Amino acid sequence: MSLKKLIKGLRQESRPEKKCKKALWRQLDHQFDHMYPGAKRLVPRPAVIIAVVVLIAVGVGTSTYAYESPEVVEGHPLNFLKQNIENFEGKIKFSPEKKAEWHLKMQDRRLAEAEHFVNKNDFRKNLFEKGIGEMGQGLDEAKRIKLKDKRQEMLEHISAMEQKHIEMLRQIKPQLSEYSQQVIERIIAEHTKRIQEKVRGFETDEQEQFMPLKMRRFRIMHVGTSGINSSSDVIVTADALPDEFGNVQIFMLQP
């Protein structure tokens, strides 16, 4: 066994992929232009330096405002800045864990924006749709995690995030009109169906870890005069959001 050959093998194995190197450079290249506008033409004259510093400060300030403010959504003139920053964040995540975390962060951000507008009596359906949709993508990424421990950790995290968002929806629901409440119910019902399908792809013990589904799936027994005569599985939607004690109320129109 030659030492030289061993070292060469190890060097080969630890060689970064060209695709990754190129992709990261593209992102950094883009970011460079944002961070250092006019860097190539920089002349060491005080007036120019001051102007560039002011430009950078204004640019950074505007980007920070765009990124942080829940007010900046589709239709806002600064929305393109927010989207650029978020997309950049997403593109430099390569591992499924980090990607899943990024989708959860985006879900959090979209729902926070939606809540912000609800507080201003403005119901934005697309923000709810986008926010809830991010979770499905988070689950897709979680499925790609190779180590079981890490995968379970991520599922617990996703589950905790969903609990948080259910709680948020429960709190804002009374502020909405009847029509908006129905829209939210529909979005959640569709989302629940999709999530159920996705969760089926995980191992059985992992599926059980996914608490929100356990909370929302019920078996209803239809009781007639001669005893139980039929049963069916129901998925409860926004109408049955759990209260602070975890209790869920289900109203049946027809047994």
Partner 1 sequence: MNKRDFKRFYSKNFDKIYRFVFFRVGGDRDLAEDLVSEIFVKALEKFHTYDPKISKVSWIYTIAKNHLANHFRSKYFRDVEPLEVDVWWQDQTWELIDSQADQKAFYKMLKNISTDEQRLVTMKYIEGYNYQEMSEILGKEKVTLRVATHRAIAKLKKLAKKYELKEINQRAEAGKPARKKV
Cβ contact 73:124 at 8 Å: yes
Question: Interface mask (CB under 8 A) for partner 1, residues 189-218, using x and -?
Answer: ------------------------------
Minimum distance of partner 1 from residue 220's CB (angstroms): 44
**Can residue 29 be called a binding residue for partner 1 (CB under 8 A)?**
yes
Judged by beta carbon, residue 51 or residue 234, the one nearer partner 1 is: 51
| 229 touching partner 1, by CB under 8 A | no
Q: Which of 1, 43, 47, 228 binds partner 1 (CB under 8 A)?
A: 1
* Burial class (CB within 10 angstroms; exposed 0-12, middle 13-18, buried 19+) of 1: exposed
At residue 211, what is the residue type? M
Residues 81-140 that bind partner 1 (CB under 8 A): 92-98
Binding flag, residue 27, partner 1 (CB under 8 A): yes
Site residues, partner 1 (CB under 8 A): 1-3, 5-7, 9-11, 13-17, 20-21, 24-25, 27-29, 31-33, 35-36, 39-40, 42, 92-98, 146-147
